[in-house]
Amino acid sequence: MPLGTVGLVTARWERAVAGLAAPLAVVDLDAFDANADDLVRRAGGKPVRVASKSVRCRALLRRVLDRPGFSGVMAYSVREALWLAAEGFADVFVAYPSGDRAALHAVAADRHAASTITLTVDSAEQVAFLAAIERPHPLRVAVDVDASLHVGPLHLGVRRSPLREAGEVVTVVRAAQAAGLRVVGLMFYDAQVAGLPDSSPAVRLVKTRSTRELLGRRAEVVAAVRQVADLGFVNGGGTGSLHVASHDPSLTELAAGSGLFGPTLFDGYRSFRPRPAAAFALPVVRRPAPGVVTVAGGGYIASGPPGWSRVPSVLAPRGLRLLRAEGVGEVQTPLRGKAADGLGVGDLVWFRHAKAGELCERFDELHLVRGDELVETVPTYRGEGMSFG
């Protein structure tokens, strides 16, 4: 949000949650809905599958899926998928391989779950693992294909699937079919495009080159697999690459989730700027020195490579900053700045998380606000007693 409006927005949030115990987390529904609309716009007519790991709240997943342009859930755990399917969510794609034999058997043992949930494989070894599961009902699977960019010996992107070329993918598809698995989808996640801010000309060059290379290779893989399997979906993209992935005719759907909350890691993109929709507030509990206050909690470090980009950032009051020697703490966080002397014990300091859904692993509830009104308080996965890793 523009710096000039930060104070106005957080002041409205404070009025909305007045009297509630802090630490607390809020989701601004106006910003959340605007971000959802922007994801649909950038998807260019392709349906967007919601990445549940970036939301981790059933009420907000339903809110998104009730909107035109969204269809299906991209889950991160088989047990999560079983829970969501039992709660009425349809078309749940677990986009990560699993070694949880008990959960996999539970999918195969339940007719509804087996018809609703799609699992992921990316090797003959994983196919053999699933084939060893007792299966009263056939399992649906999708094959994850490496979408990284290779430049000589360099691997630019995340380490996911070992499969890159059409022949390799077809071999795994045939192995899955021979094992009695139903191959219904393909997945290509371009992390080096979708998850990388436009921080330099070199990064932008990598993203452009990667998009071009993947366009051709993905088309070859999809065409080859369609010769041997009846694909229900071909998934690709992420919050940071919807606007480029939407132009690929080989993709039938896209995926996104982080853009709904608009965490700080998405502040550095040139082509879009989600509105900060999620924030958390910590109460001042100490005044250890002039110009310094200490708030309760705060050590909500995001996953990924270690560094300051993974640390929560102060949203308001403006002018407060973390102490480099301490960062954010397990139970308390000191802050320095001119605004500190105007704060007293119990006053709130507002922060934004670096990533999206991980914040929900720290809070049982999300307070949904609009303007200066508290609309509803809803449980996170954690608040419903659910933890899926």
Same domain for 210 and 291, yes or no, is: no
* CATH number for the domain harbouring residue 327: 2.40.37.20
| Tens digit of each residue's pLDDT (9 = 90 or more) over 192-212 | 776 667 777 877 877 778 888
Same domain for 16 and 41, yes or no, is: no
Same domain for 144 and 246, yes or no, is: yes
Same domain for 165 and 293, yes or no, is: no
pLDDT for the residue 4: 46
**CB neighbourhood size of 4 (10 A):** 8
pLDDT for the residue 3: 41
Collapsing DSSP states into helix, strand and coil, what is residue 184?
Answer: strand
Mean pLDDT, all residues of the chain: 93
Is 113 domain-assigned?
Answer: yes
Same domain for 235 and 380, yes or no, is: no
pLDDT grade for 310, boundaries at 50, 70 and 90: very high
Domain count, the chain: 2
Same domain for 195 and 315, yes or no, is: no
pLDDT for the residue 74: 98
* Single residue among 235, 261, 287 that ends a domain in this structure: 261
Kindly give, in sequence order, each residue whose CB lies less than 8 Å from that of residue 198, ignoring residues fewer than 6 positions away: 204, 207, 268, 269, 270, 271
**CB neighbourhood size of 133 (10 A):** 17
Q: 156 versus 329: which is more confidently predicted?
A: 329
Decide if pLDDT at 7 tops 80. no
Is 266 domain-assigned?
Answer: no
Same domain for 76 and 198, yes or no, is: yes
* Single residue among 261, 285, 317 that ends a domain in this structure: 261
Is 267 domain-assigned?
Answer: no
Same domain for 233 and 309, yes or no, is: no
Q: 156 versus 324: which is more confidently predicted?
A: 324
What is d(CA 270, CA 196) in angstroms, rounded to the nearest whole number?
11
Global pTM reads 0.93
- Mean pLDDT, range 342-370, rounded to an integer: 96
* CATH number for the domain harbouring residue 242: 3.20.20.10
255 burial (CB, 10 Å; 0-12 / 13-18 / 19+) is buried
Decide if pLDDT at 2 tops 60. no
Is 88 domain-assigned?
Answer: yes
pLDDT for the residue 1: 54
Same domain for 41 and 15, yes or no, is: no
Is 105 domain-assigned?
Answer: yes
Is 271 domain-assigned?
Answer: no
Name the residue among 1, 12, 6 with its Cα closest to residue 373: 12
Kindly give, in sequence order, each residue whose CB lies less than 8 Å from that of residue 281, ignoring residues fewer than 6 positions away: 13, 14, 17, 22, 23, 24, 25, 26, 348, 349, 350, 351
Same domain for 39 and 76, yes or no, is: yes
Is 389 domain-assigned?
Answer: no
C-alpha to C-alpha distances, 296 to 21, 24, 90, 283, 286, nearest whole angstrom: 12, 11, 40, 6, 9
Decide if pLDDT at 72 tops 70. yes
Is 268 domain-assigned?
Answer: no
Q: Which domain holds residue 42?
A: 30-261
* Single residue among 261, 295, 311 that ends a domain in this structure: 261
Same domain for 50 and 198, yes or no, is: yes
Same domain for 194 and 340, yes or no, is: no
